[in-house]
Homo-oligomer: A and B are copies of this chain.
Amino acid sequence: MFKQRGLLIVLSGPSGVGKGTVRKELFASPDTNYEYSISMTTRQPREGEADGVDYFFRPREVFEALIEEGKLLEHAEYVGNYYGTPLDYVNETLDSGRDVFLEIEVVGAAQVREKMPDGLFIFLAPPSLSHLEQRLVGRGTEVLEVIASRVAKARDELEMMDLYDYVVENDEVTKACDRINAIVTAEHCRRERVEERYLAMLEGE
């Protein structure tokens, strides 16, 4: 029986944009039917964090051995600690036909794009971008320096978007989640995917 490989969904964006909050809200919904890939880190658990729930907490030597063996889909070091995505879990889940959801930093997302270019890359954008639009097209009440600094920041954020397929504005967490779910639904309806599935079926795979 033919099993279509699942979709790899990568949510990223500038730090502080609210990726974690959006991810928690997505997985709090019973309608969300993709699997969350838990990251691995060498940092200490914080109050209330549990191993295998928030992160896989592992010693530095274990993490470095996994890097050596090529067992991480992406990894990066922040403030002296490693963070990364275990590769086997991702591949096994995709092979079983289920979608996998990663919530990672932009540096990691760039690594994943190189290794899995057919993933679904979603950039969570700060609402400042849409606020900026309102101000720029507004009644000119904003002082020029403020506009200039906002424009400069917006340019940086636009450049970061370049490797993503979709941009979701985090103006409201529930709205951002609805858009992400719409994107996943739409991608499952893409002609190439549907056609591939039916052709394989007709060939009797």
Contact = CB atoms under 8 A, between A and B. Distances in A.
A121 to B, nearest CB: 9
A133 B205 CA distance: 11
A25 interface: no
Interface of A: 1-2, 122-123, 125, 129, 132-133, 136-137, 151, 154-155, 158, 161-162, 164-168, 178-179, 181-183, 185-187, 189-191, 194-195, 197-199, 201-202, 204
Assembly stoichiometry (copies): 2
Contacts of A185: 178-179, 182-183, 186
A178 B187 CA distance: 13
B202 A154 contact: yes
Given A181-B182, A182-B182, A185-B179, A198 B133 contact: yes
Contacts of A133: 197-198, 201
Given A186-B187, A189-B179, A191-B123, A198 B129 contact: yes
A166 B186 contact: yes
B167 A201 contact: no
A189 B168 contact: yes
14 contacts: A133-B201, A137-B201, A155-B202, A158-B199, A161-B195, A162-B191, A166-B190, A166-B191, A179-B185, A179-B189, A183-B186, A183-B189, A185-B186, A186-B186
B123 A158 contact: no
